[in-house]
Structure 1
C-alpha cells in the first residue's frame, strides 16, 4: 500500500514538472492538478515573511542575554536589516521587496505604535507634568527646527556642501530631523527603569514632539510648493495659524472618536466578542479622518487612546481588557520591529549621496541645540514648578533625544523634485544610526555611573491609593480656602464633572450579582457591617436630642474606657483571624513548591500592566520555575518558612 502511495506521488510530481513542456508541445491546454500561482499571494506572503523574520530576530536577541543587554532592540533590528539587505542585494532581489514606501509607513505601520503609546500613557503623571511636556514638545521642536535650519543654510551659503538647497527645503529637512522617536525612547528608558519624573517628560515630549514635527514638516512643504518668490505676508500668517489649527484639530478629532468608542462599548454586553473590535477600529478611523482633513493624525490617535482608556476599561470584562492589552502590544511590537528592520534594509536599497560636511554639521547641530534648548527651557520652567529639573535631569533629557522611525518616514516622503533629497535621506539615516547606536548603547552606562534615580519596583498598595486620594482632596481644599485655583483644584473639578456627567454617559452601570473577594476582604466586610449595626441605634437616639452648638464646640469629648477596651478586643480578634489566614496561605505556598507548581497571587495578574509607569515599577508576582528562588526552594523545601517570608521582618 505504501508503494502505491509513493507511485502516485511520483506520478503527480512528474506531471507537475513537465507540465510546461507539454504545454509548449501541444496546441491545446491540459488540466493541471497542482499549479504555482505566486502573483495571487505575492503581497500577503511577502508581508508575512517579513513579520516572521523580524519577530524571530527579536526573539533571538533576548535568548542571547549578553548580546541583548548590550544593544537596544532597535539597534539589533537595524543590524539585522543591514545584513539582510546585503544578502538580498548580492542575490539580485528586486529592491521593491525590501524597500519601505512612505504610504505604507504612515497608513499601516505608524498608527499601531502611536496608539500603543497613547493607550498605555500614564494619564495622571502626564497631566501633572503637562506644562513641561508641552514646552519641550512644541516650543523645543520649533526652536530646534529653526536653529538647525539657519545653521545649515548659512553653512550652505558659503559653499560647504556638494548640493545646493533653498531655505524652505532646509527647513523641511530640519523639521523632520527634529522629530524625537517615542519607540526608541521607550525601548531604551523602559529597560533602564528611570524614575517616573524623567520618564514621563522624555516619553511625553517624544510622543507630542512627533505631532509638532509633522505639522512643521507639512507647513514648510506647502511653503516649498508655493515657492519662496511667490510667498506673501498672508501666506506666512496662514502658515503660522495652521500650526495651531492642525494640532488642535487633531486633538479634537481624537477626543470625539474616543467618546464614540466609549459609548459604543457600553452596549456590548450581549456581543462581548465585538467589544475589542471597536477599540482598534475607532482609533484607527480617528487617524484616517485626521489624515483626510489634513490635521495632525498622530495627535488624533494619541488623544483618542488617552481619552478612551478609562471608560473602555470599565465597559469591558477582565478577560477582554487583557486581550485588548495583548493585541495592542502585539500590533505595536510587530510594526516597531518591521520599521527598524526596514531602516537597515533601506540603507542598502536607497539611493544615497554622501556629504561629510553636511552630516557632521547636522549631528553637531542636533546635539548642541537640543542641549542648549533643554537648559533654557528648564531654567524658565524651574521658576514656576515645585518639582525642579536638576542638572542631572537636564543632561538625561538632552541625551535622550533619540531619532528613529518618524524622521526616516518623513525623509522617504520628501518630494522627488527636491534636488538634495538623496543627501537629506542619507544624513537622516546616519543621524538615526548615531542616536540609536552611540547614544542608545551608552546611555545605560552613563545613567548608572551618574547614579540617576531609578523607578521603585513595587506595586501601589490599597493604603497608598487611599492616602494619595486623601492627599489630593486635602490639597484641593487648601487651594479653595486660600482662593488659589491650581492644578489640584482643576483635577478635583474634572473628577467631579467626570463622575457626574461623563461616566454615566460613557460607562455602563451595573450591579454585581456575586461578591467575588478574598477571605480577608469578606472578614473585613463583616466587621464593618457589625460596626454599622451598632452605630445605627445610637444615631436614631442622637437625632431626638438637641445639642447646643456652642456647647459642642467648647466641650471636649471624653474617652470611654469600655469602648477602648472593646476596640482593643476587636483588634486582637482581627489579628488572630488574619494570622490564621496567612498561615494557611503559607502552607499552600509550601505545598505548591513541593509539587513544583507556579505560585499565583490572590488576584489575577497579567503580563502587561495598564501603563508604562506600572510596567516599570511592577515586580513579577509569580515564582516561575526558572527563577533562582524556585530552584533553591526545590533543593530545600523547608526554606520557605515564616522567617523567610517578605514582610515578617517589619
Structure 2
C-alpha cells in the first residue's frame, strides 16, 4: 500500500484546527484523513500511531475544564479599567463631600489616588503595569482634552484677546526658559548642587530642562480654573497662553535636545538660524492643518442628512486626524486640534442634528474627563515606581526661579499689553495670572522623553530632572491649586456669570460687528472685524 499526500490534506495535518479542543494536544482531527491511499507507496504507521499516542496521553492529563482562570491574559487592561473605576468612585465621593471639594482641587484627589495605587502595587509586587508613557500621553490622552477646550472655547473672547495671548505665549515662554535656564546654569558654578552635578550640568542640558519646565500646562489650568469660575477675560488669557505656548515649548525642547545631542562644538550660525526659523513653521503649520481639517469636516457633514447616526464620528475622527497629521510633520498637534475644534464649532454645528450636537457635547466631556483622570492618576503612580535622584537645592531653586520669573514676566508683559488694550489687566488679574501658571502632565511627559545623549550620557542627571519636574508639579498643583480658591475670594476677583446672552444682546452685538466692518471698508483698512464677518 502506498500513500500520496495532497496539498490540502497535508496542510490540514500540519496545521491542526485551532477551534478543536483536541488539536492542542497534537491529535488528528476527526473526519479528516491525513492521507490518500494509492498503490505503490508505503504507509508511515509510526507517525500516525505516535500522534495518536500523544493525543491519548494529553487527554488524560488535560480534558475540558468547566471553569478556567487566566488573569495574565487580561491583566493590563483589567488593572487599568479597575484604576479608572476606583478613580471615578473617588471623584463621586469627593463631590459628595462639600468641604473637601471646596478646599481641594479635583486634580489633587486624583494624584493622591494614584499615589495610593502605586504604593499598593509596589507593596504587592505581583502586578506589573507600565506607567503613562510619553507616547501614550501625547497620542491618546492629550487630544480629547484639547479638542474639548477648542470646541467649546468662547471664540469671540479668544480672538478679541489674541494679541495679549500671543504676547504671553511667545515672549513669556522665551523669557521663562532663558531666565530659568541661565540662572540654574550660573548657580552650578557655585558648587551648591554638588560636584557631580556641576560637572555634567552644562548649558544646553540646562536650557533643555528649563524649556520643558516653563510650559504652563493646559490640563492643569483647565482642571483648576473651571472649578474657581474666574471671569471670562482672565480665563481666556491664561488658558489661551497655556494652549499656544505649546508651539514655543515643543520647538525649544526639540531644538535644545538636538543641540545637546550634537554637542556645543558642532553648533554654528546656520543651525541657530534654522532653529529660529522653526518657530513660525511649527506654529503656523499646526494652525493651518487644524483649519483645513475643520473645513473638511464642515464639507463632509453637509451630506449626512440621511445618516445622522455617524455625524459624531466625523467630528471625533477628523479632529484626531488633524492632530496626527500635525505630529507626522512635526508641527504643533495641540494648535492643530485647537483650531480644528474652533473651526468645527463655526461650520459644523449648523450641519448636524440636535441629537448629534448633544451626543458630541457629552461624549467630548466624558472623554476629556476620563483622560484627565488617567493623566493625574498615572502621575501619582509614576511617583512611586520611577527611580529618583532628589537634589534638594536644585529642586528648591527651580521652584523659586519658576515662581519669581513668572511674576516678573507677567508684570512687564501686562504693562506692555495694557498700552493697546481697551480693558486693562489690573493688579489683581496680574496676580492671578502669575499664580495660575500651573505645571502638569505636559512637562512630565516631556521630561520622560529626554535621551541620555542629550544629558551628556549621564542617567543620574536625567533622573534628577525627572524628580525635580515631579516636585514642581506637586508644588503648583497642590500648594497653588489649593490656595488659589481662597485667594480669588479674598482678592474679590470678578467671577464668571453663568448665563447665555439674550436675543437682544446677540442682535446688537452682530449689528455692531457689521457696522465696524463697513467703517473699516470705508477707511480702507482690514481688521479683525472683517475677518470675523467672513
TM-score for both structures, normalised by structure 2:
0.84
Q: Specify the alignment match of 1:547 in structure 2.
A: none
Report what 2:525 is aligned to. Answer: 485
Partner of residue 291, structure 2: 255
SS in 1 for 2:129: helix
1:432 aligns with 2:479: no
Instruction: Give the whole-Å Cα distance in 2 for the aligned partners of 1:49 and 1:211.
Output: 35
User: Could you tell me whether the CA contact under 8 Å between 1:179 and 1:407 is conserved in 2?
Assistant: yes
Distance 2:398 2:248 in 1: 20
The 10-residue stretch of structure 1 (413-422 or 293-302) with the greater mean CA deviation from structure 2: 413-422
Deviations 1:394-415 (A, max 9, x none): 1111111011111111112211
| Aligned counterpart for 1:135 among listed residues 161, 167, 174 | 167
Instruction: After TM superposition, give the deviation of residue 157 of structure 1 in Å.
Output: 2.2
Structure 2 residue 182 is the aligned partner of structure 1 residue 150:
yes
**Conserved in 1, the CA contact under 8 Å of 2:180 and 2:402?**
yes
Match of 1:282 in 2: 318
How far apart, in 1, do the equivalents of 2:297 and 2:79 lie?
Answer: 33
Q: Which one of 295, 298, 307 corresponds to residue 343 of structure 2? A: 307
Tell me the residue number matched to 1:370. Answer: 406
- 1:98–1:346 CA contact under 8 A, matched in 2: no
Q: How does 1:428-577 map to 2 (within 5 A)?
A: 428-481=469-522, 483=523, 485=525, 487=527, 490-495=528-533, 498=534
Distance in 2, Cα, partners of 1:486 & 1:39:
64
SS state at 1:354 partner: coil
Match of 1:122 in 2: 154
Q: CA 1:98–1:165 in 2, change beyond 3 Å: closer, same or farther?
A: same
Aligned to 1:100: 132
4+ residue stretches of structure 1 with deviation over 6 A? 23-27
Give distance in 2, aligned partners of 1:480 and 1:38: 70
Larger radius of gyration: 1
Distance change (3 Å), C-alpha of 1:24 and 1:289: farther
Corresponding residue number in structure 2 for 1:321: 357
- Hey, what does 1:238 align to over in structure 2? 274
* Contact in 1 for aligned 2:247/2:279 (Cα 8 Å): no
User: Any stretches of 5+ residues in structure 2 without a counterpart?
Assistant: 1-55
Cα displacement string for residues 400-441 of structure 1 (whole angstroms, at most 9, x for unaligned residues): 101111111111221144321111111111111111111111
Between the aligned partners of 1:289 and 1:475, the Cα distance in structure 2 is 37
Deviation of 1:104 after TM superposition, in Å, equals 1.2
Asked whether the equivalents of residues 247 and 282 of structure 2 are also in contact (C-alpha less than 8 Å), the reply is no
**Is the 1:215–1:247 contact (alpha carbons within 8 Å) kept by the matching residues of 2?**
no
Q: Is the 8 A contact 2:76 2:129 kept in 1?
A: no
**How far is 1:79 from its partner?**
1.2
Whole-angstrom CA distance in 2 between matches of 1:468 and 1:138: 31
Q: Is the 8 A contact 1:247 1:295 kept in 2?
A: yes
C-alpha contact 2:204 2:260 (8 A) present in aligned 1: yes
- Tell me how far apart the structure 1 counterparts of residues 425 and 479 of structure 2 sit (CA, whole Å): 25
Which of 25, 36, 41 is matched with 2:69 structurally? 36
- 8 Å Cα contact 1:258/1:307 also seen in 2: yes
Q: Secondary structure, in 3 states, of the residue corresponding to 2:63?
A: coil
Asked whether 1:336 is paired with 2:336, we answer no
Q: 1:56 aligns with which of 86, 89, 114?
A: 89
Match of 1:622 in 2: none
Q: Determine the C-alpha separation between the residues in 2 that align with 1:471 and 1:86.
A: 59
Contact 2:447 2:466 in 1 (8 A): yes
The 1:348/1:383 distance shift into structure 2, 3 A limit, reads same
SS of the residue corresponding to residue 438 of structure 2 reads: coil
- Select between 428-437 and 242-251 the one with higher mean Cα deviation: 242-251
**In the alignment, is the contact (CA less than 8 A) between 2:327 and 2:333 conserved in 1?**
yes
Measured after TM superposition, the shift of residue 367 of structure 1 is: 0.7
CA distance in structure 1 between the partners assigned to 2:426 and 2:519 by the alignment: 28
How many residues were matched structurally?
470
Quote the offset at 1:331 in angstroms.
0.6
Match of 2:395 among 351, 356, 359: 359
CA contact (8 A) 1:152 1:362 kept: yes
In 1, distance between residues paired with 2:126 and 2:403? 38
Classify the secondary structure of the residue corresponding to 2:88: helix
1:86 aligned to which of 119, 127, 135: 119
The question of whether the paired residues in 2 share the 8 Å contact of 1:210 and 1:406 is answered with no
Q: Is the 8 A contact 2:103 2:485 kept in 1?
A: no
The answer to whether the aligner puts 1:199 opposite 2:235 as a matched pair is: yes
Residues in 1 aligned to 2:343 and 2:330: alpha-carbon distance in whole angstroms: 21
Cross-structure match for 1:595: none
Match of 1:391?
A: 427
Q: 1:93 deviation in Å? A: 3.7
- The answer to whether the aligner puts 1:401 opposite 2:432 as a matched pair is no
State the Cα deviation string for residues 579-631 of structure 1 (Å, max 9, x = none): xxxxxxxxxxxxxxxxxxxxxxxxxxxxxxxxxxxxxxxxxxxxxxxxxxxxx
CA offsets, 1:89-140, max 9 Å, x none?
A: 111245x416221111111111111111111111110000000001111111
**How far apart, CA to CA, are the structure 2 residues paired with 1:283 and 1:323?**
16
- CA distance 1:179–1:291, change in 2 (3 Å): same
CA distance in 2: counterparts of 1:268 and 1:474, whole angstroms:
36
Whole-Å Cα distance in 2 between the matches of residues 486 and 195 of structure 1?
A: 30
Q: What stretches of structure 1 of length at least 5 have no aligned partner?
A: 1-22, 499-650
| 1:229 Cα deviation after fit | 1.6
Taking the aligned partners of 2:79 and 2:297, their CA distance within structure 1 comes to 33
d(CA) in 1 for partners of 2:529, 2:509: 13
Instruction: Note if 1:74 corresponds to 2:114.
Output: no
Query: Does residue 301 of structure 2 align to residue 265 of structure 1?
Result: yes
Q: Which residue of 2 aligns with 1:534?
A: none
Deviates more, 1:422-431 or 1:243-252: 243-252
Instruction: Return the offset for 1:478.
Output: 4.2
**Offset at 1:248?**
1.4
Aligned to 1:316, the other structure's residue is in SS state coil
Report the equivalent of 1:174. 210
Aligned-partner SS, 2:292: helix
Q: Give the distance between the partners of 2:319 and 2:173, measured in 1 at CA.
A: 26
User: Cα RMSD over matched residues?
Assistant: 1.9
